[in-house]
């Protein structure tokens, strides 16, 4: 496991997020340190999207405090500190733009509106494409890409921003198994000691984390309950599933012991940097 920087990049203390007079998710206490990989788990409707929007400054902070890189959420400093990978269905893939320009658009906040990108901006976009193995598709229109390729482009766009935090909203959702593994490998590669970028993955279910969360160190439910079983070798696969289901308010899942053990082992595995 990589040694993380003790400086926190995300700090939530009694945070509650919502819209107007309606609070959607509350009592959130969370500290994410530089270099950590954290998965936020929860079924549909549990408040995951509201939490994402809260970190991006798009939903309202109703109570407590929330900071990104020491800045209050919603402030320019906080927004500049997060590279965001949205769900694919939130993107207009019919827009007439190619892969390279899409990735380069991730640097708009650094370049400024109506200004021409500089050499360093083109270099960052090219490096991001290299990291996700999409260099050969640079001139291809985004509407011609497959689902897995589109996900790579979204990740590259976030990487081009060169932020300390990557916030990924269901990065493996709706992908086939091969594409999921490809995305997993790309995310695992971000944990190099010289990079120390924090990853926060928003996932709907344990299975997605098992396949897409290789190297995940902490699993946190939408109710902000910390599942420390990933670091406790005495907890077997069946007990992991029991705790996960209890945290989600669901009955003990009917899964055979072999599958439970395999999933628990996958989650606990941290790839070598």
What are residue 11's DSSP bridge partners?
31, 67
In this predicted structure, what is the pLDDT of residue 207? Answer: 41
Q: How many CA atoms lie within 13 A of 21 on its CB side?
A: 0
Which pLDDT does position 36 carry in this prediction?
Answer: 80
Instruction: Give the tokens for residue 58.
Output: 């798009």
Per-residue model confidence (pLDDT) at position 5:
57
> Going by DSSP bridges, is the β-strand pair 218-221/37-41 parallel, antiparallel, or unpaired?
parallel
Structure tokens at 222: 């939408």
Q: What is the pLDDT along the chain (273 residues), one digit of tens a residue?
A: 444 556 788 999 999 999 999 998 888 888 888 878 787 876 677 788 888 899 999 999 999 999 999 999 999 889 888 988 888 777 888 888 999 999 999 888 888 777 888 999 999 999 999 988 899 999 999 999 988 888 889 989 998 988 888 888 887 776 676 777 777 777 777 765 555 677 787 766 544 444 433 344 444 433 223 333 334 455 565 665 555 555 444 445 555 566 656 655 554 553 333
- Residue 32: strand pairing partners: 10
Q: What are phi and psi of 269, to 5 degrees?
A: -70, 125
* Interstrand relation of 5-19 and 22-34 (parallel, antiparallel or unpaired): antiparallel
CA triplet 126, 203, 253: central angle to 5 degrees? Answer: 145
The predicted structure's pLDDT at residue 261: 63
Q: What is the DSSP string of the chain?
A: -PPPEEEEEEEEEEEEEEETTEEEEEEEEEEEEET-EEEEE--TTSSHHHHHHHHTT-SEEEEEEEEETTEETTSHHHHHTEEEE--GGGS-TTSS-BHHHHHHGGGHHHH-TT----HHHHHHHHHHHHHTT-GGGTTSBGGG--HHHHHHHHHHHHHTT--SEEEEESTTTT--HHHHHHHHHHHHHTT-TTT--EEEEEESSHHHHHHH-TT--EEEETT--EEGGGG-TTS-HHHHHHHHHHHTT-PPP---HHHHHHHHHHHH-----
Tokens standing for 156?
């590259």
Taking Cα atoms as reference points, which of 173, 179, 120 lies closest to residue 148?
Answer: 179
């Amino acid at each position: 496991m990589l040694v993380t920087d003790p400086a926190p990049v995300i700090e939530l203390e009694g945070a509650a997020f919502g819209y107007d007079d309606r609070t959607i998710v509350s009592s959130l206490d969370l500290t994410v340190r530089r270099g950590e990989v954290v998965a936020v788990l929860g079924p549909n409707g549990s408040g995951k999207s509201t939490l994402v929007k809260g970190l991006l400054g798009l939903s309202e902070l109703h109570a407590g405090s929330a900071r990104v890189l020491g800045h209050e959420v919603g402030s320019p400093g906080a927004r500049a500190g997060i590279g965001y990978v949205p769900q694919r269905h939130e993107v207009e893939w019919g827009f007439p733009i190619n892969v390279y320009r899409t990735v380069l658009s991730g640097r708009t906040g650094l370049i400024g509106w109506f200004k021409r990108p500089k050499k360093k901006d083109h270099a960052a976009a090219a490096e991001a494409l290299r990291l996700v193995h999409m260099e050969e598709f640079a001139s291809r229109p985004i509407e011609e890409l497959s689902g897995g390729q589109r996900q790579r482009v979204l990740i590259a766009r976030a990487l081009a921003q060169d932020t300390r935090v990557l916030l990924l909203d269901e990065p493996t959702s709706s992908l086939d198994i091969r594409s999921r593994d490809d995305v997993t490998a790309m995310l695992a590669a971000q944990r190099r000691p010289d990079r120390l970028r924090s990853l926060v993955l928003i996932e709907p279910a344990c299975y997605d984390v098992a396949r897409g969360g290789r190297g995940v160190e902490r699993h946190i439910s939408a109710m902000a309950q910390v599942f420390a079983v990933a670091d406790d070798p005495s907890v077997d696969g069946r007990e992991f599933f029991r705790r996960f289901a209890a945290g989600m308010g669901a009955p003990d899942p009917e899964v055979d012991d072999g599958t439970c053990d395999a999933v628990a082992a996958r989650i606990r595995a941290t790839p070598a940097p």
